[in-house]
């Protein structure tokens, strides 16, 4: 029955390869179980509850992807989307986490509608390709900055705003070691480099504390009182329902939240799923990924599941390429990945105690580095493109806001295109976005 359902013979797949690939994908993605609670906790959400929401949402979303789209792709709260959720929507815009979850729910519903209505192509054609790359790269720089800041490598300074922290502090030394170890693993093409880099960093941190170096520092990992627990915290489940009242009390605020989430989710999922679809060999005679609409549908459902469970937007993970590289060709590998995420709820105390900001800094920095690498595809010879990409990245970092960076990038592109005399080529959509972003920047709506 499984052979027929997943079309093993048609895809040249086998059970052993699919199961091993599913485990590999989980190991490559497992760092999100430590990073997401740490990041969302800065927005006021209880880290322990976020862990359970992350594990359950990721597990269910992976299983949906495997059964509906039959793509060997894992899903979890997206890196970059969790930063947008915490630092822009909650901390910068002043929304509660309940309201932010409601915005995630609305954006996922809209993404679902866009997917089944066929509007995807029209929206993709509206946004300049190089600007999409710039936004993705900008989020990468932003994630790296968050990693450096969270570990104390970069700190506040009253004169220069930011400066380098004390490199002799235990938490900083541990973070630097973790970054170097993970970088070496990545360069040596070690499977699940980020995950294993974090495991080794956490182990080194435990040794540091055992020797009295950094003992009691909350940024250092520790050995929990218990490794396995069945005390599950599902307090965030359904929390988005409490956010609807505030969500609709400020329509401009609602629009900016939903637009930012939808924008980043849409193009992140597009790039990831198209890339993985090609890597899997799901290409038709026109060069299009076969079954991609079902993959987008699964991704949209994953976002809805995430908001209901109580976490930031769930989306396809590019780390799924590790499983594909191991030979995954069917949705069975995604189902295996999902089951492992669900089982991880039993080791919550261990993961939460080990994956502190000093440990997760390596994941943020290396993932940021990988996202930055796509800048090589930008047409730097085009002054309009280069200016808009530059403004997107620099303002995203300096303003500590993903949406502000996106707004500046759009404005730079619009002004540059007008200067080139491309009045008619812009299209009504770009004019509408220009007005929206100007209002957002100058009036803070």
- Residue 184's contacts (CB-CB under 8 Å, 6 or more residues apart) are none
Kindly state the DSSP code that residue 89 receives in the 8-state scheme: I
| Secondary structure (H, E, C), the chain | CHHHHHCHHHHCCCHHHHHHHHHHHHHHHCCHHHHHHHHHHCCCCCHHHHHHHHHHHHHHHHHHHHHHHCCCCCEEECCCHHHHHHHHHHHHCCCCHHHHHHHHHHHHHHHHHHHHHCCHHHHHHHCCHHHHHHHHHHHHHHHHHHHHHHHCCEEEECCCEEEECCCCCHHHHHHHHHHHHHHHHHHCCCCCHHHHHHHHHHHHHHHHHHCCCCCCCCCCCCCCCCCCCCCCCCCCCCHHHHHHHHHCCCHHHHHHHHHHHHHHHHHHHHHHHHHHHHHHCCECCCCCECCHHHHHHHHHHHHHHHHHHCCCCEEECHHHHHHHHCCCCCCHHHHHHHHHHHHHHHHHHHHHHHCCHHHHHHHHHHHHHHHHHHHHHCCCCCHHHHHHHHHHHHHHHHCCCHHHHHHHHHHHHHHHHHHCCCCCCCHHHHHHHHHHHHHHHHHCC
- Report the alpha-carbon distance of residue 138 to residue 128 in Å, rounded: 15
| Pairwise CA distance, residues 93 & 87, whole Å | 9
User: Any idea where the domains of the chain sit in the sequence?
Assistant: 2-226+233-371, 379-445
CA atoms within 13 A on the CB side of 394: 8
Q: What is the pLDDT of residue 364?
A: 79
Q: What pLDDT score was predicted for residue 397?
A: 86
Q: Work out whether strand 161-164 and strand 314-316 pair parallel, antiparallel, or are unpaired.
A: unpaired
Going residue by residue through the chain (445 aa), what tens digit of pLDDT does each one get?
677 787 777 767 788 888 888 887 887 788 888 889 988 999 999 999 999 999 999 999 999 999 998 888 999 998 778 988 998 899 988 899 999 999 999 999 998 898 888 776 666 566 677 877 787 788 788 878 888 988 899 998 888 888 999 999 999 999 999 999 999 998 998 877 887 888 899 999 999 988 989 887 888 888 887 788 888 888 999 888 888 888 888 787 888 888 888 877 776 676 667 656 666 666 554 445 566 778 888 888 999 999 999 999 998 887 787 677 667 778 899 999 999 999 999 988 887 788 788 887 887 788 788 778 878 888 899 999 999 999 989 998 888 777 678 889 889 998 998 998 887 777 777 787 788 778 777 875 4
**Cα distance between residue 87 and residue 402, in whole Å:** 8
Pairing state between β 75-77 and 154-157: unpaired
Going by C-alpha positions, the residue among 186, 218, 228, 184 that lies closest to residue 359 is 218
Closest CA to 146 of 314, 406, 396: 396
The sign of the torsion formed by the CA atoms of 361, 325, 294, 68 equals negative
């Amino acid at each position: 029955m499984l052979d027929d359902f997943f079309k093993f013979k048609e895809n040249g797949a086998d059970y052993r390869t699919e199961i091993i690939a599913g485990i590999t994908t989980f190991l490559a993605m497992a760092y999100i179980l430590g990073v997401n609670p740490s990041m969302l906790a800065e927005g006021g959400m209880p880290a322990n509850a976020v862990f359970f929401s992350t594990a359950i949402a990721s597990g269910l979303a992976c299983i949906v992807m495997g059964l509906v789209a039959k793509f060997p792709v894992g899903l979890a709260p997206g890196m970059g989307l969790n930063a947008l959720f915490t630092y822009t929507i909650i901390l910068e815009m002043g929304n509660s986490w309940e309201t932010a979850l409601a915005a995630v729910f609305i954006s996922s519903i809209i993404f679902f509608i866009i997917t089944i209505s066929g509007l995807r192509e029209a929206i993709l054609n509206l946004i300049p390709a190089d600007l999409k790359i710039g936004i993705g790269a900008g989020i990468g720089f932003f994630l790296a900055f968050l990693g450096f800041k969270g570990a104390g490598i970069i700190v506040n300074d009253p004169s220069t705003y930011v400066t380098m922290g004390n490199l002799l502090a235990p938490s900083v030394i541990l973070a630097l070691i973790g970054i170097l170890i993970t970088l070496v693993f990545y360069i040596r093409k070690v499977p699940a480099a980020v995950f294993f880099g974090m495991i080794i960093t956490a182990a080194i941190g435990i040794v540091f504390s055992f020797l009295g170096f950094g003992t009691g520092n909350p940024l250092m990992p520790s050995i929990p009182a218990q490794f396995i627990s069945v005390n599950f915290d599902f307090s965030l489940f359904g929390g988005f329902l409490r956010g609807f009242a505030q969500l609709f009390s400020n329509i401009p605020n609602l629009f900016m939240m939903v637009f930012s989430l939808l924008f980043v989710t849409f193009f992140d999922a597009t790039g990831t799923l198209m890339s993985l679809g090609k890597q899997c060999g799901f290409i038709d005679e026109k060069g299009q990924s076969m079954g991609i609409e079902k993959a987008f549908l699964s991704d949209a459902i994953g976002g809805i599941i995430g908001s209901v469970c109580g976490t930031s937007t769930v989306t396809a993970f590019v780390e799924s390429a590790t499983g594909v590289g191991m030979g995954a060709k069917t949705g069975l590998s995604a189902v295996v990945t999902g089951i492992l995420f669900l089982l991880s709820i039993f080791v919550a105390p261990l993961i939460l105690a080990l994956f502190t900001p000093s440990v997760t800094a390596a994941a943020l920095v290396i993932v940021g580095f990988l996202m930055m690498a796509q800048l090589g595809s930008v047409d730097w010879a085009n002054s309009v493109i280069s200016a808009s990409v530059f403004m997107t990245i620099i303002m995203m970092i300096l303003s500590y806001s993903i949406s502000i960076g996106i707004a500046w990038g759009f404005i730079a592109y619009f002004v540059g295109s007008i200067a080139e005399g491309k009045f008619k080529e812009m299209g009504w959509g770009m004019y509408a976005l220009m007005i929206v972003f100007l209002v957002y920047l100058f009036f803070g709506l």
